A and B are shown apart, each in its own frame.
Chain A
Amino acid sequence: MLSDTVDLSPQSWDLAHGIALTLAKERVDVDELSKCVAYLRSVAHHPDAGSRFFRFTGELVRETGLHRSNETPRYYRLIDQTCKKYLQSLQDRPAEMLQILGWAARLARYYKDGGVPIGEIPSPPDPNGGRPTHSRGGEAKPQPEALRPKEQPEQKQAQPQVENAAASTKARFKIGQHLKASITNIKGNEVTFQIVNTNIKLTQKEPKRAGSLTVGQEVEVEVLDLREDGRVRRVRLL
């Protein structure tokens, strides 16, 4: 069982609202979405949780034995399409997917009982890495105060480890993986590594080795720790 939790970014809140509004407008049974959330929660500790989830929603559409009425296939089809549309880009981040889907289910129930608001449905993220757009150029639907995300302290921290999020999310890393890196800066005993062929830069203290390194030198590093979203947090100079 996955015990990690993540704070949702404003973009993620847009995704949750987008899923909830789409499904509420189509009068999809929220319990069916909750079954999918339950499935993702049960497999979230697996490395391929995201792809398993999309396989699961796809199989729900195909497995006729689980259809209990004429409406059920339509529910499953819409859930499958909507989840793929909004969450495919987060496939490698099951903790975030789980948070978004959990809120989407709650919001869908809220919209179902309280009425679907008139306005734009937030669109899925731009495949080129941009923020979610809105269907017809309207403003994002204001979020209730209680649902508004808190400031994320991690984003505010001074960044000794400079990373390009857009580039890093495209790459997949594992703990223990060996990578080639070049040294882009040395300041005192702090060394900045740039992972080759990416924009990922990590600055960390190398008190014993800093003196023997030079800027521009190519080295090999081992991934020691990853962030929840799969980005590299720390490396070891080999």
Chain B
Amino acid sequence: MTPQGPRPLPAGNPARGRGELAVARKPYELIPFPQQPPKLEHPAGHAKFHPDKLHGTLFLTLTVQTALHISTGHLALGSDVGVNGIRVLKTMTTTPDGRLKIQGSSLKGAIRAMYEAITNSTLAVITSRYKDRIPPERQPCRQKERLCPASRVFGALNWQGLVEFRDAIATGTGSGVGSLPPLYRPRPDQCKAYFKKENGKVIGRKFYYTHKKALQGHQKGTPTQQAAQNTVFKTQIHFKNLTPAELGTLFTVLGQDPNHPMLLKVGGGKPVGLGSLQVTLDKIEQPRNLKERYSRYDPPEADTLEGGRLQAFVQEQIRAAQGYILPEQLKRLAAILSPTALREPPTGVY
């Protein structure tokens, strides 16, 4: 039985008016789908490394800006996870040596959602219950020969993507603990703001704002194992057969475009400020000569891009993504996920 929470207010509307109980403005925004249908093309595939495409590995550092919790669905005693003073809590995934872990699939989902929003792409996953309310051109790609921009890079049904995400592992051991305030389920069926008035179809994609801090529920909240602020995770993304525009879009999503810096929002508690991650690109391994690269165990130094060469390469790819990224969508997404224009998390019942 789920307690009845207040109905979500339409995005963009101020808090309920004078004299009434002030319900916090809901901390999300819907980015509308583009007017034009997505351009479906044949994907590059995996059969060979195309010489005119880009292949390599991104080495990333993820720094937690506001506490992060990605639930395993498993409960444990506080003492089991090295947290004293907490009886029972919801756990996060950890490595065997006790380091916190962000599953690669969680990262991929967050990054794909942003990539979809700033390119003219279809949705990746939909709930069958709302299938009729998704515009036909935004239904997930079904034919593996005709894929939208995001599906060509991240994969689609029966089609493996061109990027692979490793789990992000914390550099230190230990974890924090927090109390997740009660959150109620999304109620799209009760909120007209999700659907167009004229045809009842879904308006667009929903993104939660970045916040200054993660709200804690204290006594009333659910005790959770969390990655505390400033926890550092390391991860890698492998890519192959990407065009400069596709790689440039990936860099933009990772917040590497100085004109549009963005944070990632991952895990639970996004409405109350949890889950903001700052991405830093440490280096890129990009083999110039594939035959030579795969004839030896360690890559040659010349194949690793760092410092100035790395920045120049990243900016080059971002420039190549001009025209591929939808400027209006990017502007709106960057405003929602801005690392500088942070908002206060909503107080009271969400």
User: Given the complex, which residues of A lie within 8 Å of B90, measured CB to CB?
Assistant: 66
Please report B residues at the A interface, Cβ cutoff 8 Å: 1-3, 74-77, 80, 87-88, 90, 179, 217, 219-223
Q: Residue of A at shortest CB range from B182? A: A68
Q: Count A-B contacts at CB 8 Å.
A: 46
Question: Which chain A residues (41-100) contact chain B, with CB distance < 8 Å?
Answer: 42-43, 52, 55-56, 59-60, 62-63, 65-66, 68-71
A interface residue count range (under 10 / 10 to 19 / 20 to 34 / 35 or more) = 10 to 19
Instruction: Tell whether A38 is near chain B: CB-to-CB under 8 Å.
Output: yes
With most chain B CB atoms within 10 A of its CB, the pick from A35, A39, A65, A70 is A65
Q: Is the CB of A68 within 8 A of B223?
A: no
Q: Known: A60-B88, A63-B87, A65-B222. Is A55-B1 also a contact (CB below 8 A)?
A: no
A71 touches B179 (CB 8 A): no
**B217 and chain A: residue at smallest CB distance:** A65
CB distance from A102 to the nearest CB of B (A): 16
Q: Give the residue of B74, B77, B221 whose beta carbon is less than 8 angstroms from that of A65.
A: B221
Mark out the residues of chain A between 75 and 130 whose CB falls within 8 Å of any chain B CB in the assembled complex.
Answer: none
Docked pose: A59 CA to B220 CA in angstroms: 16
**A58 CB, min distance to chain B CBs, angstroms:** 9
* Chain B residues, CB < 8 A from A52: 77, 80
Q: Are B74 and A66 in contact (CB under 8 A)?
A: no
Does B75 lie within 8 Å of A69, measured CB to CB?
no
Interface residues of A (CB under 8 A from B): 35, 38-39, 42-43, 52, 55-56, 59-60, 62-63, 65-66, 68-71
Known: A65-B220, A66-B223, A68-B2. A39 touches B76 (CB 8 A): yes
Q: Cβ of A62 and Cβ of B74 under 8 Å apart?
A: no
Contacts of A62 in B (CB 8 A): 87
What residues of chain B lie closer than 8 Å to A59, measured between beta carbons?
77, 87-88
Asked if residues B223 and A69 are in contact (CB atoms below 8 Å), the reply is no
Q: Which residues of B contact A66 (CB under 8 A)?
A: 75, 88, 90, 222-223
Q: A56-B88, A63-B87 are in contact. Are A39 and B220 (CB under 8 A)?
A: no
A70 & B1 in contact (Cβ 8 Å cutoff):
yes
Closest to A41 in B: B74
Do the beta carbons of A42 and B220 come within 8 Å of each other? no
Tell me the bound Cα distance from A68 to B74 in angstroms: 15
